[in-house]
DNA sequence: CCCTTCAGCTTGACTAGACAAGTTAGCTCA
DNA sequence: TGAGCTAACTTGTCTAGTCAAGCTGAAGGG
């Protein structure tokens, strides 16, 4: 208390609370701000700052009116050795997954989609918008865009919560070939935050993917997935580098 | 003001300030908390909450005593088509890079290192600890571990700011073979935060890598790099998947 | 029995004020 | 001139309090 503080009160408080909570299972209730303030003899705002820090660390999740609960992030691995299945990944972490198909509509392809999907000027695409839920809480939002001509009647075939991957292979007989994926952490755009039911611009992990047909090599599907960064611990693995750098042009005092 | 607020004050304030700052170059000074509070007629803590939100979004960086400045993240791309060079990546973004070698010592290998580097019970390793600076500000911390027997005298060969990659190829004649990399976003452990000169447990991107010798396939280098998440926008690309899932075991209501 | 209402809890938002810590620029003094 | 100190500014920390928003469960009425 009166020792010379190198650390602010809220920080040491959050460290202490974190070590206490680490022994509790996910979903267990954390002490309330009021209770913490009373226990440590500090102002409610100080206790609040500590809990907000724990929320940033992903240790707890806070709900207005309901309280604060212990949280565990779901490990979401992406790499050349696994095809990630959202449903199975979440279920393996002991969390109940659910998928809600929000929209499935046919429209004209945008310019960037024509280029990526190898389409002509008047070709149409099917867009699937899906909400990903973890224990009935909004955890991610995903859009898939496919060439309408190659998947006729897709919006009728994919039911609520249906698997695009499964439909492609079983119903249309496509063998999926190469898959390209790109991952980055960003602040969610406003319209994504709204669909996730969150205010402001929460941190999300954007996963972009492209699936090609194995036989013809033609692109079959473009995917954008926004995953809440506070609910997922995304681990990306890069396989072998294809293009190794030539040793010559590397300058002195450069990094490996 | 008196319209029915769906949004809290600090959020709309931060959105407004962000759009103003988006027109300014990196390094430009942002308005102070006091100035903002006066301009919008709110309490300093409310203006402060807005600027803290912008700091979370990576729009500004704040320094006690000095003020708040506009920030731009450095795009750091990792993927099968590029070997990332920290120095060149940072310099390409218009930021001045610098590397400080903190320590270079020989010691016994730990158990996990023996397994990963394919070493025997008494083999020794060289560990290089390097600080990565952006415009003289601490931006990352990196450790490299190499088998001492394969790089004799490394600590004398690598000077301050020297390149491990360059030394391996030019001085020791190793042609680097495959490179494996794994990326994840975490809260920095205490000792990493201290070396980065930061308090608490700031968000960092942990990049782990392994470099093998092309000719023999023997592991040459293990790398851990902690990059400040507020300074780098790490984009990871995964190439082709090697193992495609069999269509049969995919269950109903599963994700693509 | 079910449904509504409300009391009591939670977190969220905001204000007013005080002091501490750290940086910078300029002024003063040797 | 040069070194050092100070004043003025910044962000950081913390307190005390008020009201709002949202959820839950219990009490009460139909």
Which tens digits make up the pLDDT trace of B72-90?
999 999 988 777 789 989 9
The predicted model gives B156-177 an average pLDDT of 77
Does A66 contact strand C, using a CB cutoff of 7 Å?
Answer: yes
For residue B254, tell me if it sits in a domain. Answer: no
Is residue B89 domain-shared with residue B56, that is, in the same domain?
A: no
**Separation in Å, CA B254 to CA A164, B17, B132:** 8, 43, 43
pLDDT for B243 beyond 60: no
The predicted model gives A196-222 an average pLDDT of 92
Q: Which nucleotides on strand C sit less than 7 A from a protein beta carbon?
A: 9-18, 21-24
The predicted model gives A171-181 an average pLDDT of 84
For residue B46, tell me if it sits in a domain. Answer: yes
For residue B244, tell me if it sits in a domain. Answer: no
Which residues in chain A have Cβ-Cβ distances shorter than 8 Å to B81? 241-243
Q: What is the secondary structure of B81-119 as a DSSP string?
A: TB---HHHHHHHTT--EEEEEEEEEEEEPPHHHHHHHT-
Is residue A93 domain-shared with residue A151, that is, in the same domain?
A: yes
Which span out of A224-233, B97-106, B234-243 was modeled with the highest average pLDDT? A224-233
- Say how far B65 CA is from C27 C1', in Å: 20
Q: pLDDT digit string (tens) for B54-70?
A: 999 999 999 999 999 99
Q: Which is higher by pLDDT, A55 or B162?
A: A55
Nearest-by-Cβ selection for A238 from B8, B79, B243:
B79
Is residue A203 domain-shared with residue A155, that is, in the same domain?
A: yes
Residue B1 pLDDT:
36
Is residue A227 domain-shared with residue A210, that is, in the same domain?
A: yes
Domain boundary among A70, A101, A116: A70
Residue A162 pLDDT:
64
| Inter-chain touch A239–B239, beta carbons under 8 Å | yes
Length of chain A: 256
Is residue B152 domain-shared with residue B38, that is, in the same domain?
A: no
- Terminal CA-CA length for chain B: 46
Residue B248 pLDDT:
30
CATH of the domain at B219: 3.40.1410.10
For residue B100, tell me if it sits in a domain. Answer: yes
Is residue B92 domain-shared with residue B204, that is, in the same domain?
A: yes
Residue B250 pLDDT:
30
Is residue B61 domain-shared with residue B90, that is, in the same domain?
A: no
For residue B241, tell me if it sits in a domain. Answer: no
Is residue B65 domain-shared with residue B96, that is, in the same domain?
A: no
CATH of the domain at A56: 1.10.10.10
Domain count, chain A: 2
- Report the alpha-carbon distance of residue B23 to residue A52 in Å, rounded: 31
Is residue B133 domain-shared with residue B42, that is, in the same domain?
A: no
For residue A66, tell me if it sits in a domain. Answer: yes
Is residue B27 domain-shared with residue B92, that is, in the same domain?
A: no
For residue B249, tell me if it sits in a domain. Answer: no
> How buried is residue B150: exposed, middle or buried, by Cβ count under 10 Å (0-12/13-18/19+)?
buried
pLDDT for A62 beyond 90: yes
The beta strands (E) that lie in B1-154 are given as 60-63, 67-70, 74-78, 97-108, 124-134, 137-147
Is residue A35 domain-shared with residue A92, that is, in the same domain?
A: no
Three-class SS of residue A99?
strand
Instruction: Measure the CA angle with vertex B232, ends B230 and B237; round to 5°.
Output: 135
Phi, psi of B230 (to 5 degrees): -85, -10
Is residue A84 domain-shared with residue A203, that is, in the same domain?
A: yes
Nucleotide nearest to B46 (CA to C1'): C14
Strand partners, B191: none
For residue B256, tell me if it sits in a domain. Answer: no
8 A C-beta contact, residue B141 and residue B225: yes
Chain A span 59-118 residues with beta carbon within 7 Å of strand D: 63-66
Nucleotide nearest to B44 (CA to C1'): C15
Number of Cβ pairs < 8 A linking chain A and chain B: 212
Residue A249 pLDDT:
32
| Inter-chain touch A252–B56, beta carbons under 8 Å | no
Give residue B56's domain range. Answer: 9-70
Domain boundary among A70, A104, A120: A70
Nucleotide nearest to A47 (CA to C1'): D14
């Amino acid at each position: 208390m009166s020792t010379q503080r190198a650390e602010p009160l809220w920080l040491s408080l959050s460290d202490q609370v974190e070590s206490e909570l680490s022994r509790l299972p996910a979903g267990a209730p954390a002490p309330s701000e009021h209770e913490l303030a009373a226990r440590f003899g500090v102002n409610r705002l100080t206790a609040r700052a500590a809990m907000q820090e724990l929320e940033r660390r992903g240790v707890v999740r806070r709900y207005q009116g309901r309280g604060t609960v212990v949280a565990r992030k779901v490990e979401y691995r992406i790499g050349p050795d696994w095809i990630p299945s959202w449903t199975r990944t979440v279920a393996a972490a002991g969390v109940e997954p659910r998928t809600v198909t929000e929209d499935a509509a046919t429209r004209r392809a945008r310019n960037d989609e024509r280029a990526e999907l190898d389409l002509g000027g008047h070709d149409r695409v099917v867009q699937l918008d899906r909400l990903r839920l973890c224990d009935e809480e909004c955890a991610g939002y995903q859009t898939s865009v496919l060439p309408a001509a190659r998947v006729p009647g897709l919006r009728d075939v994919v039911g609520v919560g249906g698997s695009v991957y499964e439909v492609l292979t079983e119903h249309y007989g496509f063998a999926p070939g190469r898959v390209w994926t790109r991952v980055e952490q960003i602040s969610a755009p406003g319209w994504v935050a709204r669909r996730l039911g969150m205010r402001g611009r929460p941190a999300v992990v954007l996963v972009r993917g492209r699936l090609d047909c194995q036989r013809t090599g033609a692109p079959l599907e473009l995917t954008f997935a926004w995953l809440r960064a506070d609910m997922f611990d995304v681990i990306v693995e890069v396989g072998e580098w294809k293009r190794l750098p030539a040793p010559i042009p590397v300058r002195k005092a450069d990094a490996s």
